[in-house]
Chain A
Amino acid sequence: MKKLMIGNEAVARGLYDGGIGLVSSYPGTPSTEITEFLAEYDDIHSEWAPNEKVALEVAFGASLAGVRSACAMKHVGLNVAADPLFTLSYTGVSGGLVICVADDPAMHSSQNEQDSRRYAIASKVPMLEPSDSAEAYEFSRAAFELSEKYDTPVLLRMCTRVAHSRSIVEPGEREVPERKRYVKTPEKYVMMPAYAKRRHPIVEERTKALAEFSENCPFNRVEMGGDEIGIITSGTSYNYVKEVLGDSVSVLKIGMTNPLPDSLILDFASKVKKLYVVEELEPVIEERCRILGLDPIGKSLFPMIGEFSQKTVAAAFGIEDAPTVSADTEAPARPPMMCPGCPHRGIYYVLAKKKITVLGDIGCYTLGAQPPLCAVDTTLCMGASVSGTHGFLKASEPDVAKRTVAVIGDSTFIHSGVTGLINVAYNGSPSTVVILDNSITGMTGHQQNPTTGYNIKGDPASKVDLEALCRAVGINRVRVVDPYDLDECERVLTEELEADEPSVVISRRPCVLLKYVKAAPPLAVDREKCRSCKRCMGLGCPAISLTDGKASIDATLCVGCGVCDKLCPFDAIGRKGETK
């Protein structure tokens, strides 16, 4: 039956029908839904792991036990999982192992534009790259067999426009192969030098065999359309090429990105007068062409930066822009922002007010860098707030510690902040670490994590005691504040910044978007009392705006958190019907 699926759902269905028994992942846009859809099946084990490295190692364990397994992550997640990846390439697998990695060209929701194909080449692991949901289904289903046949993990590369686009899929039936028995084989799985030296030649031989497979595999195909122009393309770029040029050009569509089919490329190139490579981000296919002695038109014509569209292809081939209509008035930007009632806002307001240097981290709270709060100084990668603050303080004058904090969310803290905190305690810096505990992994769309007390299915699970964890690693000063209570936040932060030893301040209040968080009645501004001081505007709350010079609160957006009320020096804000 035809179904419209986003690419990530198609991957989940493909893995399921391909016989998956276990999935372990850490959420990350645009990969998250793969695992969420798999979690809907009750006959497989699914879980959120604390980070991508753990997830891949869990998947390895399942593979070792003879079960087909997978994990999904965003492109930067593969940096975290790179350690097991490179050596898994040596050990190979027992049950098929698929690593789904979703790149984010144009950085819709990411901190960089790295191209995961480089990882496939560097780790010598085969990579498949679908162009739409139908291929996402077929490729992920087929990936298990490829993995087992060539004794290797398989990378499945998605990108935002494939992961989050809906197109038609006709799924089949689930087939689960017989579970392989675990047999102790240290020469395959114990990667100490003596054994690893014997595995490396096997990896090189495997790469040759995979290159041969790539020549005739169903993932790569030629669509001839004349001998004038030939285009080698892959992933979502294929869609734009076909959209603009249709059957008027010849296309070599690459679905197996690593290893690339050298002979197929050379043969295709020999059949056309002019050769192009159309690929987003890095010139991976283009470079391979150059190694083969070809001179295609690639990055000299197509951008290295951002994502493509049909317009990119049209422009490159000299096709005129379609006429457009537009208003002359420019629309002001609408950047993403923290929601009304967001518990992160109170802490940031206090930090901005005290002009504190904030080494930030990855999550919704990165939005604290936006005006009007402008409270965040750095965002590097998961966990870097804590370790970065330690280094910053070690290299600075002692008084800098009194105006510097690390700010990190609960999920990110578990992901890789806790190791930095151990370093803070062990190597002794007077760091102040603020953990924003909103009881959920927020930015990626509400996933449970080890601090929430629930697992991926929403069933009760072991819950990390953050206070006890911080104390256990050697932090003696651990405080908990309610971010809606600005006075308390300011008092506690001031005390902890003054302290000469490391401290942790846990800002605890659940995300307002959680279903169980009930909104309080909305607040309203008494226009008689409002003196237009605009202090409430400094919160950057989307519900508050100026109407005829005075503050006003949009009752449809306000969740009644009351932070602006506490801030107003003229008692002009209150709940409707309340007398002040």
Chain B
Amino acid sequence: MKTVNIMIVGVGGQGSLLASKLLGRLLVDEGYDVKVSEVHGMSQRGGSVVTYVRYGDRVYSPLITEGEADYIVSFEKLEAARWATCLRPGGTVIVNTQQIDPMPVIIGKATYPSGILDELRAKGVEVEEVDALTTALEAGSAKAVNIVLMARLAKRLDIPREKWIEAIGKSVAPKFVEMNEKAFTLGYDR
């Protein structure tokens, strides 16, 4: 099979590490060769963060570069646009509609671009907008934004729904399992 490339992007602190960990575990259980590349340390402090998830028969590089990503799951609108160059033609963006202003915007040195998702659509990118925050809050916590977005990705991947539920059970602390399962279900069925 052709290697599938998924990028999970967002703002440091939004929970993208848990999402990639969950996805990685699931893919290994499904028997794929998997590589996941994460960002730790300084760049995590409110900066732009990117995680690469790649799976297939044999995966060498842990990175995804320009024109290679099949899916970009973005926790924030601007970040979807920032990493869009990594998308292959015909690729898909699943984006949380949250807007988080970066510091240059906050201090007035730059403006938060409007209509950036429509620009991507105009170039033939399939953009799925998700109000993941509202769904996460419905499930019980703003922190479940990551699970809601993973649920939207799950709709597009060839992995049975119950496997995802199983992986969530193994990836989050016991007291948060129920809430995260609910977030997944709400996200999946919306």
B-binding residues in A (CB < 8 A): 2-4, 6, 29-30, 32-33, 108-109, 132, 161, 164-168, 236, 238-240, 242-243, 309-311, 321-339, 364, 366-367, 370-372, 443-445, 534, 537, 540, 542, 544-546, 554, 556-557
Contacts and interface: CB of A to CB of B under 8 A. Distances in A.
A537 B47 contact: no
B161 interface: no
A440 to B, nearest CB: 14
Given A166-B38, A337-B103, 7 more contacts: A132-B35, A238-B60, A329-B119, A334-B47, A335-B104, A336-B42, A445-B40
A243 B42 contact: no
A29 B36 CA distance: 18
B35 A444 contact: no
B15 interface: no
Contact of B61 (A3, A240, A334, A534): A240
A82 B103 CA distance: 39
A4 B45 contact: no
B28 A336 contact: no
Nearest to A544: B106
A336 B12 contact: yes
Contacts of A556: 142
B86 interface: yes
Contact of A540 (B68, B91, B107, B115): B107
12 contacts: A109-B43, A166-B34, A167-B35, A243-B60, A309-B65, A323-B67, A325-B85, A327-B84, A332-B113, A336-B46, A336-B47, A545-B101
A327 B66 contact: no
Interface stretch (B120-128, B149-157, B173-181): B120-128
Interface string B27-50: 010000111111111111111100
B41 A372 contact: no
A110 B142 CA distance: 32
Nearest to B63: A309
A328 B119 contact: yes
Nearest to B91: A325
Contacts, number: 204
Nearest to B13: A339
Contacts of A108: 39, 41-43
Contacts of A554: 100
Contacts of A161: 37, 62-63
Question: What are the nearest 5 A-B pairs in CB distance?
Answer: A322-B67, A109-B41, A29-B41, A336-B47, A332-B110
A413 to B, nearest CB: 19
B41 A30 contact: yes
B61 A168 contact: no
B18 interface: no
Contacts of B38: 6, 164-166
B66 A321 contact: yes
B102 interface: yes
Given A327-B81, A339-B45, A444-B41, A165 B62 contact: yes
Contacts of B85: 324-326
B102 A332 contact: yes
Nearest to A540: B103
A165 B36 contact: yes
A6 to B, nearest CB: 7
B163 interface: no
Given A166-B36, A336-B42, A331 B113 contact: yes
